[in-house]
Amino acid sequence: MIIEKVEYVWMDGRYVAWDEARVHVMTHALHYGTGVFEGVRGYAVGDNLYVFRLEDHLKRLYDSAKVYFMDIPYAQSELKDSIINLLKKNRLKSNCYIRPIVYRGFGEFGLNPLGSPVNCAVIAFPIGSYLKETGVRVRTSSWRRTPDECLPSAAKTCGAYVNSVLAKVEAVKSGYDEAILLDGNGYLAEGTGENIFIVKDHGIYTPPLSSSILEGVTRRTVINLAEDEGYRVLEVPLLKSELYRCDEAFFTGTAAEITPILQVDDRKVGDGSVGEVTSRLQRLFKDVVAGKVRRYRRWLTKVY
- The rounded radius of gyration (Å) of the Cα atoms in the chain is 19
Helices H / strands E in the chain, number of each: 7, 17
Q: Are 205 and 236 in contact (CB under 8 A)?
A: yes
Looking only at the bridges linking them, the beta strands covering 232-235 and 118-126 are unpaired
What are phi and psi for residue 11, nearest 5 degrees? -135, 115
Burial of 206 (0-12, 13-18, 19+ CB in 10 A): buried
Residue of 5, 156, 173, 292 marked active site: 156
How far is 102 from 269, CA to CA, in rounded Å?
39
Q: Are 62 and 76 in contact (CB under 8 A)?
A: yes
Amino acid type, 201 = D
Q: Are 194 and 251 in contact (CB under 8 A)?
A: yes
Burial of 115 (0-12, 13-18, 19+ CB in 10 A): exposed
- CB within 8 A of 276, min separation 6: which ones? 248
Q: What does the buried/exposed string (b/e) look like for 254-284 if buried means 16 or more CB atoms within 10 Å of the residue's CB? A: bbbbbbbbbbbeeeebbeeebbebbeebbeb
Active site residue 156: yes
What single-letter DSSP state applies at residue 239? B
- The set of catalytic residues is 156
